[in-house]
Amino acid sequence: MVSPRHEMKIVDLLEKHSMERLAGLIGDFGPRLIGLFIRNVDNMDAFETKTYVNGYQQLISAIREM
């Protein structure tokens, strides 16, 4: 539960131009804490596994630079 003392913003990174929106929001809002909900870290194929972790690492690096 979020305390009334904390303001929260949510960005859907599947939306068009979401990274630009995220950068603007971080710049304007100036959060002290950023949380991520990460799902689908791989394609769940035991024979030809593809991982998406690198993309999440790039996202985290980009957020840290904002």
d(CA 59, CA 61): 5
Tens-binned pLDDT, residue by residue, of the chain (66 aa): 666 788 889 888 888 888 899 999 999 999 989 999 988 899 999 999 999 999 999 999 999 999
pLDDT for 3: 67
| Domain residue limits, the chain | 18-65
Between the CA of residue 37 and those of 5, 10, 41, 46, 48, what are the distances in Å? 22, 11, 11, 24, 25
pLDDT for 41: 92
33, 18 in Cβ contact below 8 A?
Answer: no
25, 16 in Cβ contact below 8 A?
Answer: no
